[in-house]
């Protein structure tokens, strides 16, 4: 095996350089070699050591792919303790990233220097665990309990200036990392500085607000999640024990979290968000240029897409039908960029520069040089075909022609041009400059390079892109209409909309389906029903049409499933809605029965997984992980459950299949998908399909 840690000398200074691409993750081999290198320094006549990262960063943390497997010595806590116990001073010279176990290694060092732009943090809670290599014990001693609690329970990294102010680092460097680290070590030698172990420091005090207030705050901010409160308890141990006992308590709490399904779900989410971009079949494809973007339509969606591009430094030409609409789009986009400046996402100077590259016009001819043109006009096949015919006439050869449709047949749209190979779907989610998800919808004739361009553009825009095939609703909306229907079915048979929302929010969804419908507007569902007509096996609730006819469109009209007013801005229950539902039950001769929260969740999830299986059978999603990413990034699925297909694996595919069989009512809606039957029979999982 190649050397993951190189050891060399600059006079009295030993330099230990870690090189374990891509992120210097602290797997077994690196831990072993790092410990050996520190042992060599102890035996050597060098007077001080500098640890630094080769490549683009210091240390990215523990090797997450080892989690869930039996731990192997030396453990990271042991390595960190070994560094801290070193009788000669050790300096961490940090650049790029020091996250999780990476920052814990730095905390084992006696002096810390970070380069400008470095991210320092303890993000373990985002993976469902807590800093388990002494971070919960050392950080509060160094930065104080309040700051440590913010860092450890929030998981957000901080920059070097903030870290310096907090006392997490001793110096912000300048120039090249190695030279700066060595110069700092020389300064320390000149000052006669010795080792400075954190374990010798006093126990930190309790937080200013008190523990109960912290716990209440964490429960409110992270409902249903376990890691944050456990992490807080570990920090509490630092205030109550000396370091060795505190470390024991940290270990106990860490191990308990390692065994939770939340840890499994969050780590699944971490890996699939990265794996999703590696699309089977796209190997070797070369993205085309994406130097300039054209957008057609300046409504909410078009303006959002234009904003997303400008935020990432791409010039935009936006075409509207009338000058008035073009001016309005210009104002909307400027407002969006102002918002980004206020949120600290962009400097005022960058906003001004971006606005200088925005042209809102009425002439299609202005798009003749655009590399990628994204259409975001009214959802009508005729209108879209007209737009694509015009684009075909003016776009330069090789330009990518994209539609932002959320359900229309992209094959048909492509046929309106003489170049269907250049046509693709780029389905953004609203607001497009904020939502992370992008469905890259590949039509029958789409060229591989065009698909690769969709992914390259998504990356440039900071999106998580998922490959989808053409069908009504693609991956996300096709599944949504199915599990939405499961909620309607339950309402028809006795559950109230409020009970359904509560059960699913307790399960972890940010909002229940009826609150989501109110937020999106009940006219959306109405239009979908009008468009699709009656579908076999799907519940067509009369009350939904009644609410539309009564102009109860949700939040925007102050009434939908809920009533929204000054008294209840977040919505309160409405007996009138319950009456409408009851009337429909009577009409259909259905006697309302009780639904438990468990049954609500089980049915909703079974419907979601079942349609997910059909989406896979139809090749609309290539892998279960594509579905999980869509639901996590665009539909409020609780991240700590990993996504619907991961949920199915963790629940047991046979269990879901059996539930569906029990639910069968002759309508076909609950019939298990053949893929589900097949996996259950073979004892295979969706994860097996991801890895195939």
Residues that bind ligand 3H9 (CB under 6 A): 22-23, 25, 60-65, 76, 97, 99-101, 104, 123-124, 127, 131-133, 135, 271, 274
In contact, 442 and 470? CB cutoff 8 Å: yes
Cα–Cα distance for residue pair 30/3, rounded to 1 Å: 9
- The packing angle between helices 476-492 and 597-617, to 10°, is 150
Closer by beta carbon to ligand 3H9, 222 or else 271: 271
Cα–Cα distance for residue pair 430/301, rounded to 1 Å: 6
Nearest C-alpha neighbor of 477 from the set 430, 443, 411: 430
Cα–Cα distance for residue pair 518/556, rounded to 1 Å: 8
Closer by beta carbon to ligand 3H9, 99 or else 441: 99
In contact, 607 and 537? CB cutoff 8 Å: no
Q: Is 318 helix (H, G, I), strand (E, B) or coil?
A: strand
In contact, 120 and 84? CB cutoff 8 Å: no
User: Residue 313: how many CB atoms within 10 A of its CB?
Assistant: 11
Q: What does residue 500 show for φ and ψ, rounded to 5 degrees?
A: -65, -45
Closer by beta carbon to ligand 3H9, 90 or else 127: 127
Cα–Cα distance for residue pair 474/590, rounded to 1 Å: 33
Cα–Cα distance for residue pair 358/352, rounded to 1 Å: 10
- SS3 letters across 251-273: HHHHHHHHCCHHHHHHHHHHHHH
Residue 392 burial (CB < 10 Å; 0-12/13-18/19+)? middle
Contacts of residue 174, defined as CB under 8 A and 6 or more positions apart, other chains included, come to 115, 116, 180
In contact, 423 and 408? CB cutoff 8 Å: no
Closer by beta carbon to ligand 3H9, 23 or else 373: 23
Nearest C-alpha neighbor of 463 from the set 266, 290, 645, 228: 290
Cα–Cα distance for residue pair 6/40, rounded to 1 Å: 11
Q: Which strand (E) or helix (H) includes residue 439? A: strand 437-442
Cα–Cα distance for residue pair 424/474, rounded to 1 Å: 13
Measured from the CB of residue 371, what is the shortest distance to ligand 3H9 in angstroms?
24
Measured from the CB of residue 465, what is the shortest distance to ligand 3H9 in angstroms?
14
Residues with catalytic roles: 104, 124
Give the total residue count for the chain: 692
How far the first Cα of the chain sits from its last, in Å, is 28
Measured from the CB of residue 204, what is the shortest distance to ligand 3H9 in angstroms?
19
In contact, 77 and 161? CB cutoff 8 Å: no
Say which DSSP state 359 is in.
Answer: E
The pair of structure tokens assigned to 31 is: 């831990």
Cα–Cα distance for residue pair 342/623, rounded to 1 Å: 39
DSSP characters over 31-75 = HHHHHHHHHHHHHSS-SEEEEEESTT-SB--B-GGGTTSPP-SSP
Residue for token pair 């499961």:
486
Measured from the CB of residue 345, what is the shortest distance to ligand 3H9 in angstroms?
18
Cα–Cα distance for residue pair 611/621, rounded to 1 Å: 11
Paired strand residues for 114: 94, 172
């Amino acid at each position: 095996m190649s050397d993951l840690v190189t050891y060399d000398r600059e006079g009295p200074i030993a330099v230990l350089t870690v090189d374990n691409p891509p992120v210097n993750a602290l797997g077994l081999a690196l831990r072993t070699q790092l410990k050996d290198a520190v042992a060599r320094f102890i035996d050597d006549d060098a007077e001080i050591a500098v640890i630094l990262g080769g490549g683009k960063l210091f240390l990215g943390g523990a090797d997450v792919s080892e989690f869930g497997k039996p731990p192997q010595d030396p453990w990271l806590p042991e390595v960190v303790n070994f560094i801290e116990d070193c009788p000669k001073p050790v300096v961490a010279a940090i650049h790029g990233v020091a996250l999780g176990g990476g920052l814990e290694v730095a905390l084992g060092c006696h002096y810390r220097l970070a380069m400008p732009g470095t991210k320092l943090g303890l993000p373990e809670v985002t993976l469902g665990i807590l800093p388990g290599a002494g971070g919960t014990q050392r950080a509060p001693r160094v930065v104080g309990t309040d700051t440590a609690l913010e860092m450890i329970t929030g998981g957000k990294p901080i920059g070097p200036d903030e870290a310096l102010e907090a006392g997490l680092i001793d110096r912000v460097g300048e120039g090249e990392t190695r030279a700066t680290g060595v110069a700092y070590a020389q300064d320390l030698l000149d000052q006669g500085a010795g080792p400075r172990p954190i374990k010798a420091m006093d126990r930190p005090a309790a937080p200013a607000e008190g523990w109960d207030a912290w716990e209440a705050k964490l429960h409110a901010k992270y409902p249903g999640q376990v890691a944050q409160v456990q992490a807080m308890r570990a920090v509490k141990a630092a205030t109550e024990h000396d370091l060795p006992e505190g470390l024991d308590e940290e270990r106990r709490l860490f191990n308990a979290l390692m065994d939770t399904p939340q840890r499994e779900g969050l780590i699944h989410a971490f890996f699939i968000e990265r794996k999703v971009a590696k699309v089977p079949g796209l190997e070797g494809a070369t993205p085309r240029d994406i130097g300039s973007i054209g957008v057609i339509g300046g409504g909410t969606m078009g303006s959002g897409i234009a904003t997303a591009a400008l935020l990432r430094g791409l010039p935009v030409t936006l075409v509207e039908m009338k000058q008035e609409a073009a001016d309005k789009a210009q104002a909307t986009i400027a407002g969006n960029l102002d918002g980004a400046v206020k949120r600290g996402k962009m400097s005022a100077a960058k906003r001004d520069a971006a606005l200088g590259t925005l042209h809102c016009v009425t002439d299609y001819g202005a798009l003749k040089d655009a590399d990628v043109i994204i259409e975001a006009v009214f959802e009508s096949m005729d209108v879209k075909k007209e737009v694509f015919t015009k684009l075909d006439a003016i776009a330069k050869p090789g330009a990518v022609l994209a539609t932002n449709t959320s359900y229309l047949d992209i094959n048909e749209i492509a046929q309106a041009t003489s170049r269907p190979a250049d046509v693709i779907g780029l389905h953004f989610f609203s607001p497009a400059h904020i939502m992370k998800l992008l469905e890259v919808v590949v039509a029958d004739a789409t060229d591989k390079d065009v698909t690769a361009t969709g992914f390259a553009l998504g990356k440039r825009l900071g999106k998580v892109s998922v490959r989808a095939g053409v069908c009504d609703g693609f991956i996300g909306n096709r599944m949504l209409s199915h599990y939405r229907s499961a909620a309607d079915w339950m309402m028809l048979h006795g559950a109230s909309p409020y009970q359904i929302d509560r059960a699913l929010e307790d399960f972890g969804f940010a909002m229940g389906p009826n609150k989501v419908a109110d937020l999106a507007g009940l006219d959306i569902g109405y239009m979908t029903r009008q468009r699709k007509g009656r579908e076999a096996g799907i519940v067509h609730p009369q009350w939904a049409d009644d609410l539309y006819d009564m102009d109860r469109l949700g939040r925007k009209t102050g009434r939908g499933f809920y009533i929204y007013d000054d008294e209840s801005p977040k919505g309160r229950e409405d007996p009138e809605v319950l009456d409408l539902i009851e009337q429909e039950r009577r009409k259909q001769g259905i006697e309302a029965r009780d639904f438990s929260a468990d049954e609500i969740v089980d049915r909703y999830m079974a419907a979601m997984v079942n349609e997910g299986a059909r989406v896979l059978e139809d090749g609309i999603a290539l892998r279960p992980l594509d579905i999980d990413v869509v639901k996590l990034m665009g539909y409020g699925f609780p991240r700590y459950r990993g996504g619907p297909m991961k949920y199915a694996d963790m629940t047991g595919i046979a269990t879901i299949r059996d539930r569906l069989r029990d639910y069968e009512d002759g309508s076909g809606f609950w019939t298990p998908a053949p893929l589900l039957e097949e996996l259950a029979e073979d004892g295979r999982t969706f994860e097996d399909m991801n890895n195939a």
